Chains A and B, each alone.
Chain A
Amino acid sequence: MAERVLMKGNEAIAEAAIRAGCRHYFGYPITPQTEIAAYMAKKMPKIGGVFLQAESEIASINMVYGAAATGTRVMTSSSSPGISLKSEGLSYIAGSDVPALVVNVQRGGPGLGGIQPSQSDYFQATKGGGHGDYRMIVLAPASVQEMASLTIKGFNLADKYLMTSMILADGTIGQMMEPISFEDAEIENYEKPWALTGTEGKRKHNIVNSLYLKPDELEKKNFERYERYKIVEENEPMWEEYMMEDAEICVVAFGIASRVAKNAIVAARAEGIKVGLIRPITLWPFPVKPLKAAADQVKSFISVELNMGQMIEDVRLATECKRPVTLCNRSGGMIPSPEQVLDAIRNAQKGE
């Protein structure tokens, strides 16, 4: 068995990034993700990497943009208000088709909000946030082990599709501690002929840019990019199914909400209610296939979220509104209790 260590979720992201070959971290501290920066500050100088605390989030995302243009593995991390500040840079990175990894350990919002855990940046992560036509690959870990494995996966996918991968975690998973190992760290290497690595006078220079003077050229770029996104939607959705075989009610939840939901499902099963869970692991691309299939099996869906109901829209779209979808939620840094989810399941059973 691979070596086990006890890690905080935030540390697991940092260690996994280093193991994935990331040697450039640019960031600005914010609760509840500061351990990522602290870990990088401690480790990067020992392994010849760069840790830089920039003067702001905006500066740090533009440093990521610059480093990404050289083809090196680079990342930043922040929490909700900080991601809003980085959003302009995220759009530029998408418009330039360079790979990067961005971590959002969400806290309550909107505005300055608070420091307690939240999932209220679902829209921001999956629908944009920055301006323009673009997508990010959004990965939603539900354990400390997944914080590590999805970080490595995120770097691989970013390089493969020349996109930003975002780890959309929440404060609880960032702060909680679990034993993990790094045994399944599979680092994929991709050729990067587009990277700005110096021509040495031997080749035509590369250009990394998101500005197009001619609208038809910009349109062509955007259409090409969306062809690539289609491949991602086809090949990369990830999800977990839990007790779905005979389920008549389907709970949909990601990240920390899925852990609360699992406890509620075990309790509901003990009461004889046939309920299961579909947990999206990629939020974009959203796992449409299993939800569409479940719509022919179950009588209703419950979306459990730490926000005012954001993913529920994608659940309705994926199931083509074939079955009712109800919301079970808390917001502002509060977390649904297993009892609250159990009540929602009981109500769904009664057809309410």
Chain B
Amino acid sequence: MEHKRLTLFAGHYGSGKTNIAVNYALALAKEGKSVCIADLDIVNPYFRTKDSAAVLEQAGVELISPQFANTNVDLPALPAEAYKLVTDRSTYAIMDIGGDDRGAYALGRYVPSILEENNYRMVFVANCYRPLTRTPEEAVEVMREIEAACGLKFTDIINNSNLGSETTAETVEASASYIEKLSQLTDLPVFATSAMESVAEQLPPEYSPILVLQLQEKYFDLPSQKPGNRPLWG
């Protein structure tokens, strides 16, 4: 997988941008690269990049997160350090953008520098199982809204089609025609497919490259949703 200096993940809310961004950062770090990830989500109140702070720190990935993330303050403020991502060109940088056009407004601030450097990949995170982007045409509509809001065009698509804990290889394979159509409609390449390790192992070779996902365990996962019926926190 060839990497650009800057990778931005945007898309419909709930499409899996944060998971993808965190795992992509971890994958880059594993290749021995110096990596910085910034949470630029000004929309989502919970379940943020910051939830993965410990894992990122362990992997040596620098995390830039809004001061008020995961607090009681409902303030969509961006951290000043986020400028580092566009000014310090010695580090691989990943931006996790908020959902839909609303979330993408925040990105506009950095776009002039991004265009000037011109070493970026802006990835649309696609999940065909999300109800408001159930057809490729609906996904294109969301893409255009995001591009209009931030002033930057998508360059790639990542196929993150999944049904959460119920995802199997068949779930991912059933997304093939959707993703193909989306790629045709937008004339954009599919940069990767993402899947949990157990699913990734079963996917045929045409799905490569695969971004293998480690998913966060949540306190509210039910015993039945956990492997071996064991509480994962214990």
Interface residues of A (CB under 8 A from B): 4-8, 11, 15, 31-32, 35, 39, 42-43, 108, 113-117, 143, 171-172, 175-179, 256, 259-260, 262-264, 266-267, 333, 335, 337-339
Q: Is there a chain A Cβ closer than 8 Å to B5's Cβ? A: no
Q: Is there a chain A Cβ closer than 8 Å to B205's Cβ? A: no
Contact B74 A31 (CB under 8 A): yes
Which residues of chain A come closer than 8 Å to B134, judged between CB atoms? Answer: 5
Which residues of chain B come closer than 8 Å to A338, judged between CB atoms? Answer: 219, 231, 233-234
Contact A32 B46 (CB under 8 A): yes
Which residues of chain A come closer than 8 Å to B220, judged between CB atoms? Answer: 172, 176, 256, 259-260
Contact B219 A263 (CB under 8 A): yes
Which residues of chain A come closer than 8 Å to B223, judged between CB atoms? Answer: 262-263, 266
Q: Provided the pairs A175-B45, A262-B223, A266-B223 are in contact, do residues A5 and B131 lie with their beta carbons within 8 angstroms?
A: yes
Residues of B37-87 at the interface with A, using a CB-CB cut-off of 8 Å, are 44-47, 71-74
Which residues of chain B come closer than 8 Å to A176, judged between CB atoms? Answer: 47, 218, 220
Give bound CA distance, A170 to B163, whole Å: 22
Q: Provided the pairs A262-B222, A263-B223, A266-B231 are in contact, do residues A4 and B166 lie with their beta carbons within 8 angstroms?
A: yes
Give bound CA distance, A115 to B71, whole Å: 8
Interface residues of B (CB under 8 A from A): 13-14, 44-47, 71-74, 127, 129-132, 134, 162-166, 218-223, 229-231, 233-234
Cβ-neighbour of B233 out of A42, A143, A178, A339 (below 8 A): A339
Minimum CB–CB distance for A149 against chain B, Å: 16
Q: Provided the pairs A42-B132, A114-B72, A263-B231 are in contact, do residues A175 and B47 lie with their beta carbons within 8 angstroms?
A: yes
Minimum CB–CB distance for B194 against chain A, Å: 14
Contact A6 B127 (CB under 8 A): yes
Q: Provided the pairs A177-B14, A335-B219 are in contact, do residues A39 and B132 lie with their beta carbons within 8 angstroms?
A: yes
Minimum CB–CB distance for B28 against chain A, Å: 25
Give bound CA distance, A115 to B163, whole Å: 27
Q: Provided the pairs A179-B129, A260-B220 are in contact, do residues A6 and B162 lie with their beta carbons within 8 angstroms?
A: yes
- Listed from nearest, the 3 A-B pairs whose CB atoms lie closest are A114-B72, A179-B163, A6-B129
Give bound CA distance, A262 to B226, whole Å: 12
Which residues of chain B come closer than 8 Å to A259, judged between CB atoms? Answer: 219-222
Contact A179 B165 (CB under 8 A): yes
Which residues of chain A come closer than 8 Å to B46, judged between CB atoms? Answer: 32, 116-117, 171-172, 175
Contact A6 B164 (CB under 8 A): yes
Give bound CA distance, A314 to B46, whole Å: 31
28 contacts between A and B (CB under 8 A): A6-B14, A6-B130, A6-B162, A8-B14, A11-B131, A32-B46, A113-B72, A114-B72, A143-B222, A175-B44, A175-B45, A178-B165, A179-B164, A179-B166, A256-B220, A259-B221, A259-B222, A262-B222, A263-B231, A264-B231, A266-B230, A267-B234, A333-B72, A335-B219, A337-B219, A338-B233, A338-B234, A339-B233
